[in-house]
Amino acid sequence: MSWSDLPAELVAAIADRLIEHADLARFRSVCPSWRSASAEHAARRRVPQLLLPSQSSSPSRKVWSLTDDRLGEISLPGGRGRSFLFASTRGWMLGISGDLSSVTLLNPFTGSSADLPALSSSFCGDSDRVPRDVVWDWSPHAVVVSPGKGAFFCRPGDGSWSSVVVNCSQAAGVSSITYCDGVFYLFDRATCKTAAVDAATFGEVNVIEPPPLEMFTWPRWRRFEANLAVSSDELLLLVRTQLLHPVYGAWGTEKSYFKAFRVDNRGGGGSRWSEVTDIGDRAVFVDHFRAFCVEVNGLNGLRRNCVYVASSYEEVNDDYGLDINGRYTATVLDLADLKAVDLSHGNLLKVWCSRFWQWPSWSMPNL
C-alpha cells in the first residue's frame, strides 16, 4: 500500500488540520488522489490574504487573513536587504530592493524564487523616492512592471528590461497591470483608459476607451479612484470616491459616489460600457494596485456581489506631526445597496508601517 492509496476520508481529515497555506499547497502536490480528496478544503481556503508592508528591515512580511483575523509571515529570499514586496493574483510575488539592484520573483507557498535583472536607476524617474507604487504582473512569456509611468518587460533569460511602447501608457500613467488569456492590460486610473498589449510580441492590440466621464457625477473637488478587473469574457471598471478610514470620512453615507461598469469582449467589436449593480456570484477585491474577481462558492465565506477594498491612512503619533505611521483598513461594500462594513479589527489594527510607508495589497493563495 502506497501513500496515494490512503482513504479519501483520511486525506481530507488531515487537510482540514493544515493551517498554513504553504503546507496545504505542498500537501496537495503529493499526488492526484490527495489533491482530489482535499479539493473542498482548498475551496474554503481560496480567499485573498492582505499583504502588509513592514515598518522595519525585517527579513519577512506580514499577511492578514480575512477569514479568521490571523497574521502570518512571508520570508524574503536571504541576502536581499530591504525589499519592497508586491502581490499578485496567482500566488507569486515581486520583490524589489530599495536601490533597485535586486529584483526577485518569490512564491511564498512553495519557497521557489527566481532572480530578474536589476532595474535602471532611472526606473523611478528623477526623484529619490523608493519604489512604493510599482505595479506588475507576469505571464508564461514575461514579467511586466511599471513605476507609474511607462512599462518595462523582461522575458526568461533576458539580461535587461525593455520598454513597452503603447500610446495609452506613454501619454499618461499606468496604475495597474493585469495578464489574462495572452494579453497584458495596462490601465490608467486618471483617464480610465486601458491599453491591451500582446503578451508574446508586446505590440499594442487595442486601446479601450472609458465610459463617458460625465457619468461620474460627484463634485469635482472630490478625489476618485478607479480600478479595472479583467476576466476572460469581460472587463469590470469600478469608479469610486477615495475610500477613507472611518474616523476621517463617513464612507457609509457616500452612497451616490460609486459606480461599476462592464463591457463584453474586452471592449472590442463596438461593445460599449454599461453600468451594473449586480456582478453575480462573485466578489471583487480592490487595492491601490489592482482589482480582481473571486468566485463565491458557498465554502469560502465571501459575500456575493460585493467589493472588498484594502487601503491605508496616516496616523500622527506626536504633538508636532513628525511621527507618522501608516495604518491599514479593509472594507466590504455591497453593490446592491452600497452599504459598507468596516473589516478593520483585531490583528489588522496591530500592524503599522513607519519609515518606508507602502500600500497594502491583496494576494490570492495558489493552492
**What pLDDT is recorded for position 79?**
44
Higher pLDDT: 292 or 13? It is: 292
- What is the per-residue pLDDT for 107? 82
What's the grid cell of residue 244?
477613507
So what's the pLDDT on residue 50? 92
* Stretch (H or E) spanning 36: helix 32-37
Of the listed ranges 37-41, 183-187, 213-217, the one predicted with least confidence: 213-217
Average pLDDT taken over every residue of the chain? 78
* Residue 242 pLDDT class (50, 70, 90 cuts): low
Please state the rounded mean pLDDT for residues 313-338: 73
* pLDDT of the residue at 297: 83
Report the C-alpha gap between 287 and 267 in whole angstroms.
Answer: 23
Q: Which residue has the higher pLDDT, 356 or 33?
A: 33
* The pLDDT value given to residue 342: 87
Dihedral, CA of residue 4, residue 6, residue 7 and residue 12, to nearest 10: -80
Better-scored residue on pLDDT, 140 or 5: 140
* Confidence band, pLDDT 50/70/90 cuts, at residue 252: very low
Q: Would the pLDDT of 146 be above 70?
A: yes
pLDDT band at 56; cut points 50, 70, 90: low
**Which whole number is the average pLDDT over 24-44?**
73
pLDDT bracket for residue 251 (50, 70, 90)? very low
The rounded distance, in Å, linking the Cα atoms of 275 and 27 is 43
Integer-rounded Cα radius of gyration of the chain = 21
Provide the pLDDT for residue 362: 93
Q: Any idea which of 70-79, 109-118, 164-173, 232-241 has the lowest mean pLDDT?
A: 164-173
Give the residue, 138 or 299, on which the prediction is more confident: 138
DSSP structure class, residue 117: P
Res 172: pLDDT:
61
Query: What was the pLDDT predicted at 255?
Result: 44
